[in-house]
Amino acid sequence: MDILRATSAIVTAFMNGVSRIIPVETLQEAEDLKKRGYLVAAERDGLVQPFADFGNSPFNFTRERVAGRQIVYSTTNGTQAIHEAGNCHRIVIGAYLNFTALSDWLISQQRDIIILCAAWKNKFNLEDTLFAGALAERILQDPDYYTICDSTLASIDLYRIAKEDLLDYIDKAAQRHRLRKNNLDDVIEYCHTFDLTSLIPAFENDCLIALQI
Amino acid sequence: MDILRATSAIVTAFMNGVSRIIPVETLQEAEDLKKRGYLVAAERDGLVQPFADFGNSPFNFTRERVAGRQIVYSTTNGTQAIHEAGNCHRIVIGAYLNFTALSDWLISQQRDIIILCAAWKNKFNLEDTLFAGALAERILQDPDYYTICDSTLASIDLYRIAKEDLLDYIDKAAQRHRLRKNNLDDVIEYCHTFDLTSLIPAFENDCLIALQI
C-alpha cells in the first residue's frame, strides 16, 4: 500500500475500467514507453513529469481517460514497493477504497501475509502505517491468524488512536504537508474513504490486473 | 538506545565505575582483544559468546567486576548503532536509567537531535520505540524544539498508550519473548526503571566514557 497516493490511484483506475497497469521503477522506462505510444502516469515527489500524460492523483484516473486502456505507471515509492515484494506468492494492491474486499480475500487465502508499506523514500510514514494497522486489526480478528511482529502490533495501536478521526490524525503526517505545499492535498479525504469498490488489483506477469475472485 | 539490553548495561557499567568501554562491531575484534588481555562482554542473539567474560545483561556489570577497568563490548545491535551514528556532532548513550539527565543535557545543547533506536537486526522494535517516544515527548516540551518526522510522532503516541503500565505493554514485544525463551527476562523491569543515575556515557575517540557535564 501507498495510501497517499499510488495505491489509492491504482484502485481508482480499476474502478474506472482500466484494463491493466504496467508499473515501472525508473522515469527512463516510463518515458521510453510513452514514446512507444503508451498512456503514461509518472510523478516524482508528488509532481507530474513533463513527458507524462498525468501524475498519480486518483482524480486523474477518470473513466474517460482510462476505461479499456492500459497505463504505464511510475511513482516515487509505490512502484518500487511492488517490485520489492517480487518473491511473494501473490502481490495484491491495498487502499481504504477496497479495504473490506481486500481483508476478506487475504483471510480466505490462509497463508502468511506481509503488509508492505511503500512509505517515503525508505522512511516510516504515518498514513501507510495506519492502514497497515487497520488491515492487521481486521485480519487478526480471524482466529487462524496471529503475529509476533512488533511493527504490526505498533501499527494496530496507532490505528486505534487514529480511527476515531482519521483525517484529523493524518493532519500531522509529513506527507500531508508535502502534498499541501504542492497543492495536492485535495485527495486526502478521498484516499481515506472505506469500501468504494470490491476490486483488488493483483500483480501478475509484470502487470497489474483486476483479481478474478 | 538499545533498551533491552545494551545501553541499559552500558549505563549500569558507568554507574558501577567502569573507566571506559570500547565498543566493537565484530566478534572477531572482541576475541582478538580478549587475547590481548581485555575484559570482554560479547553476545549475539542474547547469548554470551564462549570466549567472553560475560554477556550484556546489566546485572553482569557489577562494581566488583568493572570498577576502574576498561571493557571491550560487542552486542547484536547496540554497538552497530553507535558506529552508524558516526558522523554526528556528539553521540551519547540513553536508557531509562539516565532518562532525566539525558533529556536535560540534550535540551541544553540546542542542536538537532537524532534519536537512534538500535532495534533488532534492522527491524523496528517496540521497546526502543517507546523509549524514543518518552525522550521525544520530553524534549518537545521545550519550546525551542519541534519535529516534522512521522516516526517521532508515532513513537510519542505509542509511549502515551504504554506509559500507564510500561511493563505490561512491553510484555507483548517480540524481544521480551526472545529473552524469556533464553531465560534472560530478569532484566526487563530493571531496564525500565527511570533515573537511577545522572551519568551520560558519550562516544569519544572510539570509546565510551562518562560525559563531563
Q: What is the pLDDT of residues B71-97, one digit of tens each?
A: 999 887 777 787 788 788 999 999 999
Q: Is residue A1 part of a domain?
A: no
pLDDT tens-place string over residues A100-116 = 999 999 999 999 999 99
Give dist(CA B17, CA B148) in Å, integer: 39
pLDDT score for B140 = 97
pLDDT score for B183 = 64
* ipTM, interface predicted TM-score of the complex: 0.89
- A154: chain B residues, CB-CB within 8 Å: 124, 126, 129, 154, 158
- A43, A76 Cβ separation under 8 angstroms: yes
**Predicted structure pTM score:** 0.92
A9 vs B78, residue with greater confidence: A9
pLDDT score for A184 = 67
Q: Is residue B1 part of a domain?
A: no
Report in angstroms the alpha-carbon separations of B144 from B106, B111, B116, B160.
12, 10, 20, 22
> Which of B125, B150, B151 lies at the smallest CB-CB distance from A150?
B125
pLDDT score for B184 = 67
Poorest-confidence range of A192-206, B45-59, B60-74, B123-137? B45-59
Length of chain A in terms of residues written: 213
Poorest-confidence range of A60-64, B23-27, B95-99? B23-27
Which of 96-125 (A) contact B at CB < 8 A?
120, 123-125
- B1, B113 Cβ separation under 8 angstroms: no
Q: How confident is the model at residue B132 (pLDDT cuts 50, 70, 90)?
A: very high
Residue B37, phi then psi, degrees to nearest 5: 100, 0
Q: Is residue A145 part of a domain?
A: yes
Q: Is residue A158 part of a domain?
A: yes
- DSSP output for chain B: --TTTHHHHHHHHHHTT--EEEE-SSHHHHHHHHHTT-EEEEEETTEE-TTSSB-S-GGGS-HHHHTT-EEEEE-SSHHHHHHHTTTSS-EE---GGGHHHHHHHHHHH-S--------BTTB--HHHHHHHHHHHHHHHTSTT-----HHHHHHHHHHHHHGGGHHHHHTT-HHHHHHHHTT-GGGHHHHT---S----EEEETTEEEE---
State CA A57 to chain mean position distance. 11
Query: How many domains is chain A built from?
Result: 1
| Interface with A, mutate which of B150, B156, B175, B180 (most A CBs under 10 A) | B150
Q: Which domain holds residue B172?
A: 6-210
Q: Work out the average pLDDT over B18-47.
A: 92
Q: Is residue B30 part of a domain?
A: yes
Give dist(CA A41, CA A89) in Å, integer: 27
Q: Is residue A105 part of a domain?
A: yes
Q: Work out the average pLDDT over B1-24.
A: 95
DSSP A172: T
> Which of B120, B151, B172 lies at the smallest CB-CB distance from A153?
B172
pLDDT score for A183 = 64
Please report, for the domain that includes residue A18, its CATH number.
Answer: 3.90.1560.10
Q: In this complex, do A174 and B148 lie within 8 Å of one another by their Cβ atoms? A: yes
Q: Is residue A172 part of a domain?
A: yes
pLDDT score for B163 = 96
Q: In this complex, do B172 and A151 lie within 8 Å of one another by their Cβ atoms? A: no
Length of chain B in terms of residues written: 213
- Here the cell at position A207 is 502487470
